[in-house]
Structure 1
Amino acid sequence: MATRTSGPTGPRFTFTAALWEYEGKGAWIFVSVPVDESEVIRKLTAGQRNAFGSVRVLARIDDSRWPTSLFYSSASGQFLLPVKKSIRVAEGLEIGSTARVEIALVL
């Protein structure tokens, strides 16, 4: 179950999701933002998204925090959060691992 609160940077969303690998070029690793929260983020960021429909966020998994962007997937109707290798190593995560994720929109 995801939750939404307000924070100093903008709305915050907390959810649990599994890490998965993008099958295209680049071997990116992502977690998918739940559909309901993705829809809220789409509405909140209408007209403010950057290249590729990206949205700036501050992300957190356990003790790791980093600035990044969410990317919208029209195929799934969800925003995708890339999880870089340094974060995965620091938190002991692998593809298929489940993580508690917090994102704060930077509006």
Structure 2
Amino acid sequence: MELAFTGRVIEWRGPAPFYFVPVPDEESADIREVAAMATYGWGVIPVEARIGETSFTTSLFPKDGCYLLPLKNAVRKPRSITAGDDVSVRMTVLL
């Protein structure tokens, strides 16, 4: 399953700051349809994502009926992505 969307980067401050792009409602609904086949536990969904020319693998986290795409520092820092920025994401759910 391939998806493309634009989202605003959010920051979650725990013991260390983490950055995420919320997956929009429509795309989250599509992911929920294949979630049982894709998850490896705890409701997380493995994906390969691309922002600009940077590809990375990670897992979506379920949150309030949608999903959050974590942004690794290796993706964020070279592109100077921070909270409040809008980013375009291309993403493949790994089944």
Under a length normalisation based on structure 1, what TM-score does the superposition of the two structures give? 0.81
User: How far is 1:24 from its partner?
Assistant: 3.6
Aligned 1:1-107 pairs, distance under 5 A: 11-73=1-63, 75=64, 77-107=65-95
More strand by share: 2
Deviations 1:24-50 (A, max 9, x none): 443210000001110110111225412
Under a length normalisation based on structure 2, what TM-score does the superposition of the two structures give? 0.90
- Take 1:92 and 1:12, find their aligned partners in 2: how far apart are those partners? 26
Which consecutive residues of structure 1, in runs of 5 or more, have no partner in the other structure?
1-10
User: How far is 1:15 from its partner?
Assistant: 0.4
> Percent identity, aligned pairs only?
33
| RMSD, aligned α-carbons | 1.3
> How many residue pairs were aligned?
95
- Take 1:59 and 1:78, find their aligned partners in 2: how far apart are those partners? 17
Aligned partner letter, 1:14: A
